[in-house]
Amino acid sequence: MFAAISLASLGVGAIAIAPQDVLSALLGALAGQELSASEDLILFSVRLPRILFAGVVGASLSVSGVVFQALLRNPLADPFVLGISGGSALGAIVAIVIGASAFYLGLPFLAFAGALATVFLVFIVAGGPRGVLLDNSLLLAGVVVNSFFSAAILFALSVVDSLELHSISFWLMGDLSRASLAEIGGSALCLGVCFALLYAQARKLNLIVQGEETALQLGVNVRATKYILLAVTSLVTAVAVSFAGIIGFIGIMVPHMMRLVYGSDHRLLLPAAALFGASFLVAADTVARTALAPSELPVGVITALCGAPYFIFLMRRKERR
């Protein structure tokens, strides 16, 4: 699916390219043939890096949603709703304002710090790390923390140079157009390492979903496993947000859809969510950059248009149950 959607996306844009021309250009590049300047610029300098970056970000957010929904046993949990994306964005904006983004890994580090701070704040507001966390309390805590970070982001934007205001505002709504090859490679490496760590905990995650007491009786160190999963998930979310901005609702929709197809076994659910999330964000970004061509929409607008009705559907479904 990802390969087919990516191939179709390569030919779609302000300048349309026929599928057979895209295929011949790709095969020619693999064979070392010389390409025309326009093909090389459009396909391999603009569209292909963006597609790869969208795939990495979509997979990162989808995998994060799977883990958060499992840990909190709540199908409405995801990095966006719980405020973790907002915390990462605030950390990234602080890095931009104070000039830390000029240093190597300065921006991802502060985004990761913001994500971790958000996790602890949500747990504290919802009842503390040792308390009983109910679904409603977690969602309300996420709304409260999200509101706080939104206010902090607005304050940070008010002190930013006006020349940077538009680009940062566009980035906050999800922007996949400015990723360099180094950022794509770094985020892909982070996703690969974090996915391997999360997949290694898939069996323990299956047991935790069945109940913490059951997991303890079967020899799972629940507290240590939760800390590992929260730290790794916060890292992969922070890296995605620091480079691509806030892209909401993927972490809700994709895990829920994949759970309907593959069930709750995280050994299948994690890779399925990663692949489908990557495909979904590539498709959403294709719509975002072609709907108003030659202008483009932030990809977060497209995911919100799809995700908000789905979020309402899930809430109504939980109420009926």
Burial of 31 (0-12, 13-18, 19+ CB in 10 A): exposed
User: Who wins on pLDDT, 113 or 138?
Assistant: 113
Measured CA to CA, the distance from residue 272 to residue 120 in angstroms comes to 29
| DSSP reduced 3-state for 295 | coil
| Whether pLDDT at 284 is above 60 | yes
> Would you state the pLDDT for residue 134?
52
The arithmetic mean of pLDDT across residues 272-288, rounded, is: 95
pLDDT tens, 131-169?
Answer: 445 556 777 788 888 888 888 888 887 877 766 666 677
Between 1.10.3470.10, 3.90.1150.10, 3.40.50.740, 1.10.3720.10, what CATH number should domain 60-320 receive?
A: 1.10.3470.10
Q: Which range has highest mean pLDDT (16-20, 22-26, 103-107, 207-211)?
A: 207-211
| Whether pLDDT at 107 is above 50 | yes
| Whether pLDDT at 63 is above 90 | yes
The sign one gets for the Cα dihedral 195, 201, 206, 209 is negative
Please give the distance of CA 195 from its chain centroid, rounded to a whole number.
13
> Would you state the pLDDT for residue 79?
86
DSSP labels, 53-66: HHHHHHHHHHHHHH
> Would you state the pLDDT for residue 124?
79
| DSSP reduced 3-state for 179 | coil
| Whether pLDDT at 41 is above 50 | yes
pLDDT tens, 213-267?
Answer: 888 888 889 888 988 998 899 889 988 988 888 898 898 899 989 998 998 899 9
User: Who wins on pLDDT, 18 or 162?
Assistant: 18
Closest CA to 105 of 239, 244, 241: 239
Domain-wise residue ranges, the chain: 60-320
